[in-house]
Amino acid sequence: MLHALTWFLALGLILAWSLAAWAFHTVATLAATQSGALAGGIEGIRALPMPDWLAPWVSAEWWPVVLGSLAELGPFLDGLLAVLPTLSGPLSILVWVIWAVGAFAIVVLGGVVSGLIAHAQARRSPHTSVVGAAGSRLPAR
């Protein structure tokens, strides 16, 4: 019964791992393919107002400095956003290779736990005997 519970739990973990990998792959691919449309949109960042929730925590002089720093990163971010759509192919391969490694690790973990359960059950019942090749009863080891 414990073996079945172990493998049922392993199957549930593989299902959760698969759903997480699928969701990450979907979101990452969508973000990578749509990011090219965002390239060139950094220049209007200096006009962003400070959020109301941030005003009690920082001084008003700090906000233009942050926006200026972000505007200086504009060319780098534009270049990164322009390149992201080309990374969606290798990203898919990477996500599914990581999924395969994780699924393999879950199966190995299930096997190890199942083996530990079998070992613990064998140690708990030392009075069982094994039938030998000639049909004679041999004491258990």
Closest CA to 14 of 98, 105, 96: 105
- Supply the pLDDT for residue 28: 79
- Residue 90: pLDDT band (50, 70, 90) is confident
- pLDDT tens digits along 9-66: 999 999 999 999 999 888 877 777 666 555 555 666 667 777 788 788 888 888 888 8
> 0.85 exceeded by the pTM?
no
Q: Which residues, at least 6 apart from 29, have a Cβ–Cβ distance to it below 8 Å?
A: 88, 91, 92
- Using CA atoms, how far residue 61 sits from 58, 67, 68, 116, 119, in Å, is 8, 11, 12, 63, 68
- Dist. CA 35–CA 28, nearest whole Å: 10
Sign of the Cα torsion 99, 102, 104, 107 reads negative
First to last CA, the chain: 24
- Supply the pLDDT for residue 104: 97
- pLDDT tens digits along 73-86: 777 777 776 777 77
Q: Is residue 43 within 8 Å of 74, Cβ to Cβ?
A: yes
Domain boundaries, the chain: 2-118
Q: Where do the H-state alpha helices sit in the chain?
A: 2-34, 62-72, 74-83, 88-124
